[in-house]
């Protein structure tokens, strides 16, 4: 491999701002054009491929090529997936807990108490700024693109795309509910039955308090809840799997069930033993947007939630 080139996996290599794809026999069907192969192999949309063609982003060797090209097994096609971009935020040297990284996305364990992205110009101390610094450290000049969000005080697994095509593909997976998200929460009381599905529509409440409310005119929302451990009679550790992605969905659904999350001041949770809502994005599972490989990422339970569960379990609080 040449300088500036890195192995991505199998048929993919990275050469500076280009992803080089080796076309295999199994990638081809009779009469295939290049655009049809790229849709199948890289999951690119027709619009994305058109933009690549217009910008000279498809090449064979050093020659620009058309998406209508007929290709043969063994050929290598270079696709410009990594154009030079501004980060969108000022890089800051903030510690970053990386769970996984390849040429397409970065998976991070977000600590509580930090915003994912600035909410006003000039805001500092965000997770996006930490990711921008990491990108600068590894020599990547790409816009910081969080694929989804976590509340300021929610900890756990979050994904950042490293280029526009990865963001589009991952965003499509999230929108299609093709990503399994598992959260842990310490809640007041013990839900009965121990496993249940909550289906309550949600909408933003008028006013400036930021609250979401159960509203028959709102958007459909579904969360599957399972008790993982009863922590005496006062609380329990529950697993929540949101099958839709509404703002504050887990927090509102658990509160509506009569079991608000411990420390969640906005939705009525008990305010002792922890300084934020005891909600942690424990794991994410999805198919890699370019290789189709099953991927699963897990973030360990943070110290404040672990300490809270120990206190409740021992009934010393």
The catalytic residue positions are 151
28-38 CB burial, b ≥16 within 10 A, e <16: beeeeebbbbb
Block residue for tokens 């099958």: 243
Distance (Å, whole) CA 167 – CA 101: 14
Q: Which residues are within 8 A (CB) of 266 and not within 5 positions of it... i.e. 6 or more apart?
A: 209, 210, 211, 248, 251, 277
Q: Smallest Cα–Cα separation from 250: which of 277, 273, 271?
A: 277
Block residue for tokens 């069930």: 257
Contact assessment for residue 255 and residue 202, using Cβ atoms and an 8 Å cutoff: no
Distance (Å, whole) CA 178 – CA 156: 19
Q: How distant, in Å, are the alpha carbons of 185, 220, 223, 242, 306 from that of 191?
A: 12, 22, 14, 17, 20
What are the DSSP E strand ranges found in 139-270?
A: 145-146, 155-161, 180-188, 195-199, 202-204, 212-214, 222-231, 235-242
Residue 59's φ and ψ, nearest 5 degrees, are -140, 150
Bridging pattern class, strands 5-9 and 235-242: unpaired
Q: Which residues are within 8 A (CB) of 254 and not within 5 positions of it... i.e. 6 or more apart?
A: 185, 187, 198, 223, 225, 238, 240, 260, 261, 267
Q: Across-strand partners of 294?
A: 287
């Amino acid at each position: 491999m040449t300088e500036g080139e890195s192995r991505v996996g199998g048929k993919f290599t990275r050469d500076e701002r280009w992803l080089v794809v080796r076309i295999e026999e199994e990638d081809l069907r009779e009469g295939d054009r290049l655009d049809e192969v790229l849709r199948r192999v890289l999951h690119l949309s027709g619009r994305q491929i058109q933009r690549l063609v217009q910008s000279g982003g498809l090449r064979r060797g050093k020659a620009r090529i058309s998406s209508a090209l007929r290709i043969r097994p063994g050929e290598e096609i270079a696709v410009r997936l990594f154009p030079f971009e501004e980060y969108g935020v000022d890089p800051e040297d903030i510690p970053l807990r990386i769970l996984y990284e390849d040429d397409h996305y970065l998976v991070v364990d977000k600590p509580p108490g930090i915003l994912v992205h600035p909410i006003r110009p000039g805001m500092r101390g965000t997770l996006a700024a930490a990711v921008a610094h990491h990108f600068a450290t590894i020599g990547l000049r790409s816009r910081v693109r969080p694929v989804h969000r976590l509340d300021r005080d929610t900890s756990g697994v979050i994904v950042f795309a490293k280029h526009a095509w990865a963001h589009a593909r991952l965003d499509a997976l999230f929108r299609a509910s093709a990503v399994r998200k598992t959260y842990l929460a310490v809640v007041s009381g013990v839900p009965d039955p121990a496993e249940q599905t909550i289906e309550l529509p949600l909408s933003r409440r008028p006013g400036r308090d930021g609250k979401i409310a159960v509203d028959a005119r709102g958007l459909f929302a579904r969360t599957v809840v399972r008790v993982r451990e009863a922590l005496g009679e006062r609380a329990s550790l529950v697993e929540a799997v949101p099958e839709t992605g509404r703002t504050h969905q887990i927090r509102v659904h658990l509160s509506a069930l009569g079991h608000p999350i411990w420390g969640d001041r906005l939705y009525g949770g008990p305010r002792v033993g922890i300084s934020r809502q005891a909600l942690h994005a424990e794991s994410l599972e999805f198919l890699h947007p370019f290789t189709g490989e099953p991927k699963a990422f897990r973030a360990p339970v943070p110290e404040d939630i672990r300490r809270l569960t120990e206190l409740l379990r021992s009934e010393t609080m």
